DNA sequence: TAAACAATGTGATATTTTCTTACATGAATG
DNA sequence: CATTCATGTAAGAAAATATCACATTGTTTA
């Protein structure tokens, strides 16, 4: 459902609303933004505008903090999530060609013998 | 789905957001409220706060106006809709008892012969 | 046709909300 | 014990919104 995701990512909420929805102070919300955990948009007057997804993430952050995880930990969690998502996106965007598959299989066989060099093979692979 | 309806009726949007979402001026939105077509909530500082349902209704109003229907007409439309909804709510709240059903059936049979009096039967129906 | 009405624009002024920046603070941590 | 982390708080500026009044432009109506 693409339209739903679009609606959830629409930046339509001012910080006052988000404070109530997430039960967080403005200071906390701005601090989490400063730490890169959320990226609310800005309107023409420089006011932060949040989406429902932002609210969800803030609630998540709150849970993590309640569980004793600190900013660094939460950052790492989101960094890994993003990395995984990026990999999946890449896989979807550029499915392997036959040539890729053949080269990968070739390299796998080479690696079996523990012969792999740090900079990659010094010989032509095909 | 009860939760969805709840979310759509949450008053979380300031008028500036609603102006963009519905492509209406603040003057228009306030005027439609003055006419009783919408009833946005107010926050602690007297600012109007709108729900997604409010936005939907504003878009509807816009369509009606574009179709040449004036305020009075739109008011009437919503009055009738509300009346119908009230009836349905009442019907749901007080489902028919067996006795109701028997009386209704009884009356139906009476009506078949075209014998029904204007003020209803003058005789006991059960 | 003049007057009235309907729907909206515009301007003034007050209040509320949000912004940034800076400093304060208690708890955890090395 | 000195730092760092996460948050509170205060000040001053800028933006958003409120109400109220008057203006404008079509459309009815007497």
| pLDDT number for residue B126 | 39
Cβ contact A21 with chain D strand, < 7 A: no
Of residues B85 and A11, the one with the higher pLDDT is A11
- In angstroms, the first-to-last Cα distance of chain A is 44
pLDDT in tens, B50-76: 999 999 999 999 999 999 999 999 999
CB atoms B21 and A14 under 8 Å:
no
Binning pLDDT at 50, 70 and 90, where does residue A62 land?
Answer: very high
How far apart, in Å, are the Cα atoms of A46 and each of A40, A41, A114, B21?
Answer: 11, 9, 57, 19
Confidence at residue B89, expressed as pLDDT on a 0 to 100 scale: 80
Tokens 């001026």, located at residue: B25
Q: What are the pLDDT digits (tens) for A12-60?
A: 999 999 999 999 999 999 999 999 999 999 999 999 999 999 999 999 9
Best of A12, A21, A51 to disrupt the B interface (most B CBs within 10 Å) is: A12
Say what the pLDDT of residue A103 is: 54
Nucleotides of C under 7 A from a protein CB: 6-10, 15-21
Considering only A21-30, A88-97, B32-41, which range has the smallest mean pLDDT? A88-97
Residues from chain B that touch A14, judged by Cβ atoms under 8 A, are 14, 17
Give the model's pLDDT for residue B2.
Answer: 85
Query: From CA A40, how far away is CA B25, in angstroms rounded?
Result: 25
Per residue in B80-119, pLDDT tens? 999 999 888 878 776 666 555 555 555 554 444 333 333 3
Average pLDDT value for chain A: 81
Nucleotide of closest approach to B48 (CA, C1') = D17
Hey, are the CB atoms on B17 and A12 less than 8 Å from each other? Answer: yes
Distance CA(B18)–CA(B51), nearest Å, equals 9
pLDDT at A98 over 90: no
Per-residue pLDDT at B99: 56
How far, in Å, is the CA of A73 from the C1' of nucleotide D1? 27
What confidence score (pLDDT) does residue B33 get?
98
Residue scoring higher pLDDT (A96 or B55): B55
* DSSP three-state, residue B101: helix
Name the residues in A93-122 having a C-beta closer than 7 Å to nucleic acid strand D.
Answer: none
Rounded distance between C-alpha atoms, residue A56 and residue A24, angstroms: 12
Residues of chain A found within 8 Å of residue B43, distances taken between Cβ atoms: 16
How far off is chain B from A36, nearest CA to CA, in Å? 25
Distance CA A110, CA A58 (A): 47
Closest CA to A14 of A49, A52, A55: A49
Q: Which residue of A has its CA nearest to B19?
A: A12
The nucleotides of chain D lying under 7 Å from a protein CB are 5-9, 14-19
Residue-range domains of chain B with CATH: 2-112 (1.10.1660.10)
């Amino acid at each position: 459902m693409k339209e739903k995701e679009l609606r959830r990512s629409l930046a339509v909420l001012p910080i006052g609303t988000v404070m109530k929805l997430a039960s967080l102070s403005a200071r906390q919300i701005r601090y989490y933004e400063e730490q890169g955990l959320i990226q609310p948009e800005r309107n023409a007057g420089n006011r932060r505008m949040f989406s429902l997804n932002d609210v969800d993430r803030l609630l998540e952050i709150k849970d993590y903090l309640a569980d004793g995880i600190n900013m660094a930990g939460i950052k790492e969690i989101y960094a890994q999530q993003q990395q995984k998502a990026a990999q999946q996106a890449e896989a979807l965007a550029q499915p392997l060609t036959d040539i890729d598959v053949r080269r990968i299989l070739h390299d796998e066989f080479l690696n079996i013998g523990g012969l792999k060099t740090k900079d990659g093979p010094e010989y032509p692979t095909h």
